[in-house]
Amino acid sequence: MATPQASKEWEFDVFLSFRGPETRSGFTGYLHKAFCEKGIRTFMDLEDLISGNKIQQTFARAIESSRIAIVVFSEHYADTDFLLKELVKILECSKRYGQFVLPIFYLLDPGEVRHQRGSYEKAMARHEEKFKDKVPIWRAALRNAANLSGLHFKGDEFEYEFIERISKLVLAILKEDTLPVVADNPVRSESQLKASQESSSSLFSSPRQYQYHVFLNFRGCDTRYRFTGSLFKALRDKKIHTFMDDVGLHRGNDISRTLIEAIKGSRIAIIVFSENYAESTYCLDELVKILECQESDGQFVLPVFYDVYHNDVRRQTGSYGAAMAKHEEKFKDDPSKVEKWKRALHRAANITGFVFDGKKYEHEFIGKIVEVVSREIRRVNLHVADYPIGLESQISEVKSLVFSDGYDGVHMVGIHGNGGSGKTTVAHAIYHLIANGFESICFLENVRESSYKHGLVYLQNMLLSNIFERKNLKSTSVVHGISTIKHWLQQKKILLILDDVDKLEQLQALAGKPDWFGGGTRVIVTTRDKNLLVWHGIERIYEMENSNSVNTLEILSILLKLTKLI
């Protein structure tokens, strides 16, 4: 990958890549109009694209001459080979010129693009018959584009408000003084979810456990005793197990084995980019290792730009350009080393993160970072190879039942057993094993007891507050709650576990029908009454065996394992 060119002149601010028949007259048309009204120079083709063997030169030049490329992924985007060629060109230009690529998932699950499922799977199957040699390149382009931080329109907000958010984002990028910050519910890149559905498809292969919640990558002389030290304390105060290196760990020319193991053993890596970060070869080597772990293990990477322009990091200008020039001179006999660092800086700066510009209280800024980290570690991926004999097989069987028809569609699964049979423990294990594969997660415990004490409206509000932490969604009656849940969750892929249900009305109020939820949703219900599951139309039911064979000590042992890193 070539170093991004800081001096490149851009003819257009934005290039729009989209499927004309689907979004031209609606969403993309409105987006183009909003850009024009704000003075954003935008290239949008005026007519439906004509497929051909090569991208038309007009479009190729427009892509190369645009500062930002917005890719509007819609249901049938991949049907057109022209668009796939266009996407490949966009990603090539991003590597060559440092253009910013912003994917928009319009009424589409990002997973369908990443994994080429659903309509994307069908489109690629058709292309394989005609473009056999091209399809692997197109598949890689779809996957790489979906790995970038983007925006997801699910139909649960006003479209004009969503378009306004995109406009503000584009203006911020064009000003080159900020980076898209973490949203309330950001689209998480596939590399950050990689350890979820695929790696957990088998419970007992390639176990993945984490020694730390967070690894802090930072330039000691810039931020150790101020910002990073305060961040470390805030994380520790929230009982978030964090690795922060001691000064003595950096010895010799390479990062120590201790640091490598700490990076590999961390669920999340926070990269604090500061003024003199790039001067340190240790920081740069750590960064390369972090991105390797993101790619191989799904490590969640969160960049923080502390009093530094993100474009200085992305394009290696300013202090970052000066540092790279020094490294090129020092390592002129090993130019590949410096190129590797440049690629890592560029890639990390394209990940959605936080920007601190000194215009807010530092403690409030740190609080937002801690909030995002806290939300992420709830998804910690535990493995169950050490569970007591008896529950291992039951957990494996329930998980197989949950995904017996693949990952698409909305499915409800019941776990039936007597009191003390271990059904709640199994549900907890399933919850932690597969949580990474969902947009939002909710475990409602003791539904029976909560329903008797507080009522169904209380449970509905608990569900809504778990899924939408920042939204003040409150139901005033059961009927209103049902309407609210359906409205907000119809486009959302969630994992919902309802524990200890004993009345049909509880199911009807919380998970009435599959069409209440977005594609890929899984609802797991534990109960002592099998008839409830049957009456609610739940056909996939797991019967807990040997209800009395799992004693209290074993269950406590399991729960300790589950809460070890929480």
**Residue numbers annotated as active site:** 286
| Residues 308, 319: Cα–Cα separation, whole Å | 9
Residue 213 host element (H or E): strand 212-217
β-bridge partners, 442: 496
- Smallest CA-to-CA distance from 28 within 86, 70, 76, 91 is with 70
How far is Cα 345 from Cα 338, in angstroms, rounded to an integer? 11
Q: How many residues does the chain have?
A: 566
Residue 139: closest CA among 214, 84, 206: 84
Extended strands (E) in 97-168: 100-106, 151-153
Residue listed under structure tokens 């972090």: 290
Tokens representing 74? Answer: 């819609």
C-alpha–C-alpha distance, residues 158 and 499, integer Å: 34
Token pair recorded at residue 8: 């490149």
Query: What SS3 class is residue 414?
Result: strand
Q: Determine contact, residues 526/500, Cβ cutoff 8 Å.
A: yes
User: Would you tell me how many other CB atoms lie within 10 Å of the CB of residue 125?
Assistant: 11
What is the side-by-side order of every strand in the sheet holding 354-356? Answer: 242-243, 212-217, 266-273, 300-306, 354-356
Which is nearest to 218 in space by CA: 242, 241, 244, 181? Answer: 244
Read off φ and ψ for residue 462, nearest 5 degrees: -60, -45
List, as one string, the DSSP characters of 258-312. HHHHHHHTEEEEEEEE-TTGGG-HHHHHHHHHHHHHHHHH--EEEEEEESS-HHH
Q: How are beta strands 242-243 and 212-217 bridged, if at all?
A: parallel
324 CB burial (10 A radius; 0-12, 13-18, 19+): buried
